[in-house]
Amino acid sequence: MLMLRMLAAAGLSIAAGSLAPASAQGFAPACEREVKDLCGRISVGRCFQDESLWNSVSPRCTGDIQTMIEMEREALEQQAEDNQSRRQAADADGGIQRGRSYGGILRAGPGMEFSKLGSLQPDDDINLLEDTGVWFNDYKWYKVDTPLGVGYHWGGIFCTEGKAAEGVFQSCASDAGGGPMPADAGPPPAGDETADAESYVRAFYTEPFLSDALSPENEGFFTEPAVRTIRANNRPGGSCIDVSPIVAAQDYDSAEIDRTLDLRASRAANGQMLVEATFRNFGQRTDVVWTLVGSSGYWLVSDIEAPGQGPSLGSLRCG
């Protein structure tokens, strides 16, 4: 299973504030590498909650790692203080309607095509600042103030206090009992969401119309940065993709892939869904990691990568 937390020591960026890269803090490069090897993309503080990891650390790196953990803790405390100040200011303005997120992506603009600012967690408080008037799949995009800062949140994945605002899923009072919500009422439980993400990726391996996923007709299944590469590749003279990123090969045995395909999905801390596809192609084990954005029923592929076999789809440059 992939490590799903970004490595804070290598360049922690939290909400409105950020820490400089670890190298800028004077940490030994060898110690940075040790942390990266041990923790992958898990934040350093969370990683070293497993005290057994300290046995794998070189004595010379103990101090650096403790400093990394302390820096991360201070950044989180500062974030909490900033969030509290922002909430107090919002409360003083009686014209702002409050709500609660069900989790999901905060974007830089009112639409899926805008860049991600971060991922909200279930039950994060939000303040509605502006009705953008932009509809998507029966719900509106709203400009909101959140624990991550100001951005845009889709109305299908949050509720509002009092009467539900136009284009918002429901009033928060509708699920005030704390019990499970109906299957068709808002975002599904995490287990259902990962299963849905796995099914979405499986279609690329099993559905004939997606066998050539990078064709111009299928661009609608992708978003940045992958769609940028696909469009550049499909331009006249723009070919730069010489192997299928879906199978990490030029040739493949679809029957063998279908027979051996194993998929495992996990929601990352930044809101992305990572789906690991493992299969055999002509007897060779292949691992491909899909990065999805969105939520159940609204997935888009933002990147595909075969670790250790070259750049990801989104990082390729054509022309």
Instruction: Tell me the three-class secondary structure of 102-153, residue by residue.
Output: CCEEEECCCCCCCCEEEEECCCCEEEEEEEEEEEECCEEEEEEEECCEEEEE
- Of 155, 44, 40, whose CA–CA distance to 126 is shortest? 155
137 φ/ψ angles, rounded to the nearest 5 degrees: 50, 55
Question: Residue 189: CB partners within 8 Å, gap ≥ 6?
Answer: 180
- Tens digit of pLDDT for each residue in 261-314? 999 988 876 678 899 999 999 999 999 999 998 877 678 899 999 988 888 998
CA 45 – CA 51 distance, rounded (Å): 11
Rounded to an integer, what distance in angstroms lies between the CA atom of residue 290 and that of residue 298?
Answer: 15
pLDDT at 79: 65
Domains within the chain, CATH numbers bracketed: 8-88 (no CATH), 97-175 (2.30.30.40), 190-315 (3.10.450.50)
ω into 225 cis (within 30 of 0)? yes
Nearest alpha carbon to residue 28 among 72, 71, 74, 59: 59
In tens digits, the chain (319 residues) has pLDDT values of 222 222 222 222 323 233 333 444 578 888 888 888 777 656 777 678 777 778 888 999 999 989 988 888 887 777 667 656 655 655 555 567 899 887 777 888 988 777 778 777 777 889 999 999 998 767 899 999 988 889 999 888 888 988 888 989 888 887 544 333 332 334 444 457 888 889 889 989 987 767 677 888 777 788 888 988 888 888 887 678 888 899 999 888 988 999 999 999 888 766 788 999 999 999 999 999 999 988 776 788 999 999 888 889 988 887 6
Whether 104 and 116 have beta carbons less than 8 Å apart is answered as no
pLDDT at 144: 92
Do residues 249 and 281 lie in contact, with contact meaning Cβ atoms separated by under 8 Å?
Answer: yes
Give the C-alpha separation, 146 to 72, whole Å.
20
d(CA 127, CA 142): 10
Contacts of 51 (CB under 8 A, 6+ apart): none
Q: Give how far the C-alpha of residue 14 lies from the chain's centroid of Cα atoms, to the nearest Å.
A: 14
Distance (Å, whole) CA 112 – CA 165: 21
| Residue whose structure tokens are 């029966």 | 138
Q: Which two tokens stand for residue 106?
A: 């905060």
Phi and psi at 160, nearest 5°, equal: -125, 150
Q: Is the pTM of this model over 0.75?
A: no
**The two structure tokens encoding residue 195:** 């299963």
